[in-house]
Amino acid sequence: MVAVALVAPVVSSAQERVTIAGTVVDSMSGKPVERATVYLVSGPRTETDGRGRFQLIAAGGVLVLRRIGYAPRAVRLGPFLGASVDLRLTMTPIAVALDSMNVRADMVRINPRLADFYDRRRTGAGTYFTRDDIWKRNPVHLTDLVGRVPGISCGPAGCNSSRRAGLTAGCPMQVVIDGIRADLSLDEIPPAWVAGIEVYRGIATTPMQYGGTGRGGRGPQCGTIVIWTGLDK
């Protein structure tokens, strides 16, 4: 069960600002979800009313839905043609979404390489966050989650590990997304798109396939954060 959707863009200027309105409903009951937080990543935010309605003015981007009791959701929007767009979006109750076996099967079907994630989670030396963990903790940013791992501190510039005693300066960790090293801030990735996270505090525990020198000088000597996405195909 995947709390992710892609809304296909149509031809328009990327700078055109339009009114983005919509209704958020419960995926099981069809009833409106009120007081859900709706916001654009690095943009405006609002809440749904008693009818599940919301409205924002933006040029498109990534729309995030959050509500206690529901799996967070991220939707890629626009750019759109015309002055306004009206969406109907669903949110899945966590009590239903957290059927662990079904979630795992869906995640592996969408991203087969996640099978390796689950194998390492059983025997590996890192810290692991499953889709269930992410939904339960409901972080606003991925750094809110990764920063909880002992020996790791996170900020806007990324995450650092204290890989040896007496280290005063932060040791920047490399980021790997779906098996590929990325020079990317964790906070650019909506948590609702993430199916699993592996955190390794140093080179001794980092899997061999993520060795070598990372982009921007970030390598596994300072530890590695591996992100697995669960985007619908």
Q: Which of 90, 93, 94, 118 is nearest to 104 (CA)?
A: 118
Query: Which tens digit of pLDDT belongs to each residue from 206-228?
Result: 888 887 544 444 566 888 999 99
According to CATH, the topology of domain 99-229 is Ferric Hydroxamate Uptake Protein; Chain A, domain 1 (2.170.130)
| CATH code given to domain 4-95 | 2.60.40.1120
Cα(225)–Cα(142) distance, rounded to whole angstroms? Answer: 11
Q: Quick check: helix, strand or coil at residue 135? A: helix
**Which amino acid is residue 36, in one-letter code?**
A
Query: Which tens digit of pLDDT belongs to each residue from 18-69?
Result: 888 999 999 999 999 999 999 887 678 899 999 999 999 887 778 889 888 8
Q: What is the pLDDT of residue 215?
A: 45
Inter-residue contact 98 to 107 (CB < 8 Å): no
Helices and strands, counts by H and E, the chain: 5, 16
Cα(7)–Cα(73) distance, rounded to whole angstroms? Answer: 13
Look at residue 98 and tell me whether its pLDDT is greater than 60: no
Give the residue extent of every domain in the chain: 4-95, 99-229
Query: Which tens digit of pLDDT belongs to each residue from 71-83?
Result: 888 888 766 666 7
What is the maximum span of the chain, computed from C-alpha positions, in angstroms?
Answer: 58
Cα(73)–Cα(54) distance, rounded to whole angstroms? Answer: 15
Q: At what angle do helices 114-123 and 100-110 cross, to 10 degrees?
A: 130
